[in-house]
Every structure is written in structure tokens, then in C-alpha cells.
Amino acid sequence: MKGAVHADAQVSVFIDYNNNQLYDVPNERIFSGVASVNSFYLNGTFNTPLNPALNVATGLRVVLNNDLSPNGASDNGVGTYVSGETEDYLVKFKLKQLIPNAVVDQDVINQIGVYPNPTSSKVYVGFNLQEDLPVELSVLSLTGAMLETHTLNGMKGPHVEEIQLGGYSKGTYFVRLQTTKGSFVRRVIVE
């Protein structure tokens, strides 16, 4: 724009992690900062929660607002302002398989899920086995120590296995599915 005048701006970023069509503040306001006339580059980091809505397009909103005082647009992601801009994007979160120290055929086990997560008692481990293979289902500590293991007579098709975690201390653990063709690991939190 010719003759544009730069001014300070409140910059707020929101992501609708649970895909409920609302920006649930404060958990879904992932960044807030002020860009000034002299320093208009902003840097920041954010952590994605453990269980965002997966494989669906969800909203990401950036609000640039010249009103630096508390206001709905910058604070909640929705509201009016005199001068500024709102940009809306769609993002999609995908679950990446963690395969430490292994090169595997990605199609041997797929559709892996651990739920509920976090848990205070038991979890269900769901997966789909693409061929008849024995599967070793293990619970590992954060340091990698094996706490328990179960050998499953793996028949091709969908499986759901129950694991009791109520006897474990609160913290982070890993559930590992292992076949002769590779390992698949998922994190689980005991509350």
C-alpha cells in the first residue's frame, strides 16, 4: 500500500486442537506477542497437546490487531477491532509412527491407537495386523526398561488388547508392539 503507516500490533495465534469449531482459551491460544514499529519480527514456540483431533482439517487463526489493550479479537480469537487483520487457515494433525532403530515395512501393523490416554487404570491398544505374525506387546518405562510383556498369537485383522496400568506410578510410559518385521511405539500417560 502506498503511504501505509506502520504501528504497533498485538499478534495472537489460535489453533482449534479439539476441532470443536471454537478457540478454547487459554489452551488453544498458542501465541501472543507485540510487534512494534521498530521490531516487527516475532519468534515463538508452542507444544501440541498429546491428543489433538487427528486427520481432520481444523482451524488456525492469526489475529493482527493495532489495539494493544485487552480485547476480544486478540484475547479470544473472536471480536471486533478498528484496525488490523484476521487470517484463517486449515491445518491437519497426523500421527507419526515412532520406530526407533528399525527399518520396517510400514504396512505390517497399522491403525495403532492407545485409549484412553491419559489413563488412571487401564488402556486399550488397538491395531490392525496385515498378515499372520506373532506380536509381542510390552509396557516400557520412560528409560526403556521392560515392565511387562505379552505374546499374542497374531492373526491377520483388527485387534484390541487391554492392559492394566492402575498399579503403575503416575508418569509417562511406552507401549510397544513388536513383530519380526519391526517395532511400533506409542506413549501413554498414567495419572
* 136-160 mean pLDDT: 90
Top-confidence residue, 151 or 3: 151
pLDDT tens digits for range 94-133: 876 555 554 444 557 777 888 888 999 999 888 888 888 8
Cβ neighbours of residue 1 closer than 8 Å, sequence gap 6 or more: none
pLDDT at 16 over 60: yes
pLDDT at 5 over 70: no
| Cα 122 from Cα 120, distance rounded (Å) | 7
Amino acid 2: pLDDT: 44
| Sole residue written with cell 520406530 | 99
In degrees to the nearest 10, what's the CA dihedral of 179, 183, 189, 190? 30
Q: Would the pTM of this model clear 0.75, i.e. be above it?
A: no
Which triple of cell numbers denotes residue 43? 519468534
Query: Quick one: how far is CA 172 from the chain centroid?
Result: 15
pLDDT at 41 over 70: yes
Amino acid 107: pLDDT: 58
Domains of the chain as residue ranges with CATH: 9-92 (no CATH), 109-190 (2.60.40.3080)
In degrees to the nearest 10, what's the CA dihedral of 79, 81, 87, 88? 10
